[in-house]
Structure 1
């Protein structure tokens, strides 16, 4: 069974808005590239999919825009080429190596997890909350930024039940950020 990993940047006060942390640097981009490359496919809700597509889809010209620097290129190439699944009740179609997941969320994600492979990666805010409530996340990965945002959406706000986690890995960055990976201590589906 493929594990489902939830990964996100978060500030010290729990804000998980993509603009609330520090701008990415070469070290964090290498980290996220490696983590994303461990997955057979990426799982997004509509908002995260559209945000990532607008930033990281290679233009039809075949040339990356000037703002994509050399140290961002491995991340850009990895996310652009990755298989993606999109959970949405409002989109009629997706592309960018993506497939819409239709039907009941729990059943659809369980089906994906049962396929052979190394794992699935999910990012974003709303979809991971629903997956956590269903007990479908096998690993939580937070890149904690040394910032206090003081506003914005917070990590897993509205979670129905507390989830006890155990630390399985930690990595400090030159920027002061710390990546921490956790697994639920209770059995997950």
Structure 2
């Protein structure tokens, strides 16, 4: 069974909004590229899919835009080519190597997890909360940045039940950010 991994940048006060001032440097871009390369496919909700497509889809010209740094190109290439599954009841169609997921979320994700491969990645804010509630996330990676945002959506805000996690890996970055990888402690 493929593990489902949730990875996200988070500020010290728990903000996970992409506009919270968490801009990855070259070292962090390398980390996020490696994380993307560990995924056989990604799962996004509509909002995250549209945001990621707007930022990381290869232009029709085939050339990456001038604003993209040399360190961002490997991430862009990794996310551009990975298959995507988009959970949405409002989108009529998706492209960018993507397919829509509709209907029973738990059933659809369990089917994806049953397929052979190294792992699935989920991103965003709302969808991971729903998947955490269903107990479907097998690994959490939180890259905690030394920033206090003071506003914005919070990590897994609204989770209905307490979740105990076991730290399985920790990595510090020169920027002061720390990546903590956890696995849920499943009750016996």
Q: Which interval holds the TM-score relative to the shorter structure?
A: over 0.9
Structure 2: which 5+ residue stretches go unaligned? none
Aligned equivalent of 2:51: 51
- Superposition misfits of 4+ residues, deviation over 4 angstroms: none
Say whether residues 1:153 and 2:153 are aligned partners. yes
C-alpha distance in 2, partners of 1:107/1:21?
36
The answer to which of 15-24 and 154-163 deviates more is 15-24
- SS in structure 2 at match of 1:6: strand
TM-score under structure 2 normalisation?
0.98
> What are the Cα deviations for residues 150-181 of structure 1, in whole angstroms up to 9, with x where unaligned?
11000000001011000000000000000000
Aligned to 1:79: 79
> Which ranges in structure 1 are unaligned for 5 or more consecutive residues?
none
CA distance in 1, matches of 2:36, 2:58: 17
Distance in 2, matches of 1:102 and 1:137, equals 19
Q: Is the 8 A contact 1:10 1:21 kept in 2?
A: no
Q: CA deviation at 1:102?
A: 1.7
CA RMSD, Structure 1 to Structure 2 (Å): 1.0
1:119 matched to which residue of 2? 119
Which residue of 2 is the match for residue 141 of structure 1? 141
Q: C-alpha separation between the residues in 2 aligned to 1:73 and 1:36?
A: 13
Q: Is the 8 A contact 1:9 1:21 kept in 2?
A: no
Do the aligned partners of 2:2 and 2:120 also contact (CA within 8 Å) in 1? Answer: yes
Question: 2:176 maps to what in 1?
Answer: 176
Which residue of the partner structure matches residue 60 of structure 2?
A: 60
CA contact (8 A) 1:21 1:145 kept: no
TM-score (norm 1): 0.98
SS at match of 2:85: strand
